[in-house]
């Protein structure tokens, strides 16, 4: 189709929903299989995505020039189709909680249809995780902090082109960000396993503070090489920040509620991350 509205709905809404449905279970299922080395397992999974995300823009640019935009979308759909078969390997190994067993068995026959629907709605939209004060502070704090998270990434290439008149080597910045982000995810997972309990939050806070300082240093760079160095550390801190979120959620609410905790966190983060770039100005 050539309709921009249809592309908003298909590639925007439908593709976004499908990506979120595939992304979150891949984080939660790790807690079913790994306990002592959850951070390392999460780092390997998150770092593996960089193996594709780094060369993917160049691949799509080449494919788009060869077969056109419509067929490029079809190639993306085929790549996403692989996740369907991979997700079939997921098998929850943790026993169901007592609450879920009681909801599914006790008093089922005595409930009306309305009560059963309400019980199922509460089961899948459970706000119990927000009863934990530590989770509330962490989740709303992260959501507030990521308001400007995407701003430097969205404007970095244009800034370099305007400031340094560099249009042929700007792709190096994206490679540096992606490669160091993958390294940061691998390293942070292993480091996170060595930090006991909720002290993992300090690692995330430190990485996010460094992200802010590095972003403020970009306008101070007098050469293109300086921006490359900043991007290397930006990618490293970004890997630390994103990878440690799932282990922190498991520590805060436990494995049985980690899925909803991560889901609510991602939902809270989506609003400021989406609004941050328009607020900053494109």
Query: Percent of the chain having pLDDT more than 70?
Result: 89
Number of Cβ within a 10 Å radius of residue 149: 21
Average pLDDT over residues 236-255: 85
Quick one: pLDDT at residue 247?
A: 85
Quick one: pLDDT at residue 120?
A: 67
Q: By C-alpha distance, which of 193, 214, 162 is closest to 43? A: 193
- CA dihedral over 10, 12, 13, 17, signed as positive or negative: positive
Q: Higher pLDDT residue, 141 or 73?
A: 141
Place of tokens 């998270």: 149
How far apart are the C-alpha atoms of 49 and 192, rounded to whole Å? 19
Quick one: pLDDT at residue 94?
A: 64
Looking at the chain, list the stretches that DSSP marks H as alpha helix, in order from N- to C-terminal side.
4-7, 15-28, 30-33, 38-53, 56-67, 69-87, 98-105, 113-124, 133-145, 151-164, 171-194, 200-217, 224-243, 245-253, 258-280
C-alpha 186: how far from its chain's center? 15
Q: Is the pLDDT of residue 154 over 80?
A: yes
Average pLDDT over residues 74-94: 78
Q: Is the pLDDT of residue 99 over 80?
A: no
Q: What is the pLDDT of residues 6-50, one digit of tens each?
A: 888 888 888 888 877 777 777 777 777 777 787 788 788 877 777
8-state DSSP, 219: G
Instruction: Name, in order, each residue with C-beta under 8 angstroms of 182's C-beta and a sequence gap of 6 or more.
Output: 47, 49, 50, 51, 54, 235, 239
How far apart are the C-alpha atoms of 85 and 30, rounded to whole Å? 17
pTM of the predicted structure, to 2 decimals: 0.77
Instruction: Name, in order, each residue with C-beta under 8 angstroms of 131's C-beta and a sequence gap of 6 or more.
Output: none
Phi and psi at residue 127, to the nearest 5°:
-100, 20
Instruction: Name, in order, each residue with C-beta under 8 angstroms of 169's C-beta and a sequence gap of 6 or more.
Output: 224
Q: Higher pLDDT residue, 152 or 114?
A: 152
Q: Is the pLDDT of residue 182 over 80?
A: yes
Pull the structure tokens for residue 57: 């823009």
How far apart are the C-alpha atoms of 53 and 59, rounded to whole Å? 10
How far apart are the C-alpha atoms of 120 and 107, rounded to whole Å? 14
Q: Higher pLDDT residue, 279 or 52?
A: 279
Average pLDDT, the chain: 81
Between the alpha carbon of residue 207 and those of residues 106, 241, 256, the distances in Å are 47, 6, 28
């Amino acid at each position: 189709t050539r309709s921009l509205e249809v592309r908003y709905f298909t590639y925007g809404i439908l593709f976004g929903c499908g990506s979120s449905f595939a992304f979150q279970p891949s984080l939660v299922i790790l807690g079913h299989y790994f306990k002592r080395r959850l951070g390392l397992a999460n780092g390997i999974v998150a770092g593996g995505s960089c193996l594709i995300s780094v060369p993917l823009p160049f691949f799509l640019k080449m494919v788009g020039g060869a077969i056109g935009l419509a067929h490029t979308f079809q190639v993306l759909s085929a790549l996403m189709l692989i996740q369907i078969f991979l997700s079939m390997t997921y098998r929850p190994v943790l026993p169901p909680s007592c609450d879920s067993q009681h909801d599914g068995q006790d008093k089922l026959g005595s409930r009306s249809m309305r009560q059963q629907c309400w019980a199922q709605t509460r089961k899948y939209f459970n706000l119990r995780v927000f009863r934990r004060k530590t989770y509330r502070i962490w989740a709303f704090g992260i959501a507030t902090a990521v308001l400007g998270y995407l701003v430097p990434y969205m404007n970095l290439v244009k800034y370099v082109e305007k400031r340094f008149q560099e249009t042929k080597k700007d792709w190096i910045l994206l490679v540096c960000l992606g490669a160091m982000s993958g390294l940061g995810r691998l390293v942070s997972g292993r480091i996170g396993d060595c930090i006991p309990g909720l002290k993992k939050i300090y690692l995330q806070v430190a990485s996010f503070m460094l992200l802010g300082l590095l972003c403020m240093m970009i306008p101070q760079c007098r050469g293109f090489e300086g921006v490359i160095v900043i991007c290397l550390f930006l990618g490293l801190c970004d890997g630390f920040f994103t990878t440690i979120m799932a282990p922190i959620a498991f520590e805060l609410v436990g494995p049985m509620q980690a899925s909803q905790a991560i889901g609510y966190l991602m939902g809270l983060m989506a609003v400021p991350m989406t609004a941050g770039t328009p607020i900053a100005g494109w």
